[in-house]
Amino acid sequence: MAAIACPMRRPRRWLAAASPAVLWLCLAGCAGGSAPAPGATPPAGRAAPSPASPEALGPDGRAGCAPPSPIGSAAPPQSAGPGGPEVRGTGHGVGLWGLIMVPFRSPLIRSGDRVKIVWRMTGTGELRLSAVDPDGRTRRLDWGPEAHGGSSYRRPGDEWGAGYRFDRPGCWDLHAARGIATADVWIEVGRR
């Protein structure tokens, strides 16, 4: 192996000064690995995921909104436009994302609201949607699902739009299915 000449006059001082930086770069490069599963907490010493990653939104939603499905912003690169509230579903063999067509506010959805959600779902087959209210009753959608031919919303899967009417506060289960694969979004609807 050929030696590389160093233009510095005092190579030992250069080596002593560069050693910590080189060591840090080596250790940082070795800390990589596969990304954690959605909803997983990064191991100690690992950086949190970027805001554009699914893990950055928070843990997967669970029945009864314990916790509700994570909501973030569909800002670029997920959307070519200014973005809006985006929810990540808890999938069973599929991925589900929803762009909620309401302004950011608290609470995000209020009792009495009629809301359009643009869904992106992976998998195959026709999309079937349902909504289960806080009392456990299955409700009809206001409209849809309607397949979308093109969009600026960039998440995996095919895209549809659907309309919902949330007539009471509490935890709503928005259920989606394609073939035998299913996913759910649990959203807390606030009082008007």
CATH number for position 134: 2.60.40
- 164 assigned to some structural domain: yes
Determine the average pLDDT of the residues in 137-153. 93
In a domain, 85, yes or no: yes
Per-range mean pLDDT, top range of 6-20, 83-97, 101-115, 125-139: 125-139
Q: Please report whether residue 182 resides in a domain.
A: yes
CA–CA gap between residue 30 and residue 20 (Å, rounded): 15
- In sign, the C-alpha dihedral spanning 169, 62, 100, 143 is negative
> What total of structural domains would you count in the chain?
1
Cα–Cα distance for residue pair 90/96, rounded to 1 Å: 7
Tens-place pLDDT, residues 77-118 = 665 555 789 999 999 889 999 999 998 888 999 999 999 999
Residue 176 lies in a domain: yes
The per-residue pLDDT for 174 is 99
Share of residues in the chain with pLDDT > 70 (%):
66
* Chain center to CA of 162: 19
| Tokens (6 digits) for 69 | 């499905």
- The one-letter code for the residue type at 109 is I
Residue 64: what pLDDT? 96
Which two structure tokens, joined as six digits, stand for 46?
């690992």
Confirm whether 124 is domain-assigned.
yes
The label of the residue with tokens 């999938």 reads 91
pLDDT at position 60: 92
What mean pLDDT is predicted for residues 119-140?
97
Q: Which residues is 139 bridged to in the sheet?
A: 131
Do 81 and 99 form a contact (C-beta atoms < 8 A)?
A: no
The verdict on residue 162 lying in a domain is yes
Q: Are 129 and 141 in contact (CB under 8 A)?
A: yes
Tell me the residue range of the domain where 154 lies.
Answer: 68-189
CA geometry: angle at 123 spanning 121 and 126, to 5°? 80
